[in-house]
Amino acid sequence: MDVTLETRTQNDRIRILRKLRAYVALTKPRVIELLLVTTVPVMVLAANGIPNLWLVLATLVGGILSASSANAFNCYIDRDIDRVMARTKHRPLVTGELTDREALLFAWLSGVGSVLWLGLLTNWLAAGLSLFAILFYVVVYTLLLKRRTPQNIIWGGIAGCMPVLIGWAAVTGDLSWAAFVLFAVVFLWTPPHYWPLSMKYRADYQSVGVPMLAVVRGRAAVGLQVILYAWATVACSLLLVPVAGMGIVYTVVAAGSGAWFIIESHRLYSTAIRHGEVKAMRVFHSSISYLTLVFLAVGLDPLLPF
């Protein structure tokens, strides 16, 4: 009897852990990590030093809830194509680890929780920006753009830029030109970050009729667009130097990492026009490293005396 009870208890624990892991997967934690990388450094810049750590914690929790809601809604809406695409076939709504009802309830609760949390613990401007980010990602990107136009990533990326504004607003209660420059950096960075990924999974997107740029245009055309957006991203990042009075640390890091990002983009295009083996994921990973370095410099620069 005791052995049977112990076995049942162990099985219950396993089921609970699997359910928790499924909820975490629903939030797309890799995406959330990248969003949070842009939040804390912006708060340091907005405060011109170390901001209140409780405020930082409250903003991060609110940001996690906001992104979790948007990603959960996205998984619920896209569950039909996720079942077909090899890249997404292990998502919890496809495997059955979560029901549609569980995912939808989680999406609503985390979304409402994000707005209330940020409104009560930071300010209502940050809360309003969080609500806008969720609605934009779910309605504009997922429902209206994703399956209709190759411009989906360009304009849909606006939602991914919102943590920059949320972090700034949480500290200052308003928005300034420096915040909008950083918003523009993430906005311009999103296409050259995501298009290489869509090149790798071109067959996946083609199989479900999602018109990613890599599906409707050739590799050379995609590579050229990656170059143009990479140059625009780096140029925009350097605008922060005069706008926010950034020092030598930020300037060197932004210029150096930007040059690396551009070189990788040109390498992708050069390989594509020569019909060689395109290593798209190299640019994808380089773009992540680039953005991380730039925002790390954003957070470090105000703390250094030069």
- Contact, 227 vs 189, CB < 8 A? no
pLDDT digits 0-9 by tens, 106-146 = 999 999 999 999 999 999 999 999 999 999 999 999 999 99
Above pLDDT 90, what percent of the chain?
79
End-to-end CA distance of the chain: 71
Pick from 194, 191, 199, 205: nearest CA to 218: 199
pLDDT digits 0-9 by tens, 186-200 = 999 999 999 998 898
Residue of 14 and 220 predicted with greater confidence:
220
Query: Per-residue pLDDT for 64 more than 80?
Result: yes
**How confident is the model at residue 12, as a pLDDT?**
67
Residue of 266 and 12 predicted with greater confidence:
266
CATH no., domain 176-306: 1.20.120
Q: What is the domain partition of the chain in residue ranges?
A: 26-173, 176-306
**Burial environment of residue 254 by CB neighbours within 10 A (0 to 12, 13 to 18, 19 or more):** buried
State which CATH number among 3.40.50.300, 3.30.70.100, 1.20.1440.230, 1.10.357.140 fits the domain covering 26-173: 1.10.357.140
Pick from 213, 210, 203: nearest CA to 78: 210
Residue of 169 and 280 predicted with greater confidence:
169
Dihedral angle over CA of 112, 291, 86, 225, nearest 10: 110
- Per-residue confidence band for 27, with pLDDT thresholds at 50, 70 and 90: very high
Residue of 115 and 304 predicted with greater confidence:
115
**How confident is the model at residue 1, as a pLDDT?**
47
pLDDT digits 0-9 by tens, 232-280 = 999 999 999 999 999 999 999 999 999 999 999 999 998 888 877 778 8
**How confident is the model at residue 3, as a pLDDT?**
59
Q: Give me 150's structure tokens.
A: 């190759």
Q: Give me 147's structure tokens.
A: 């399956």
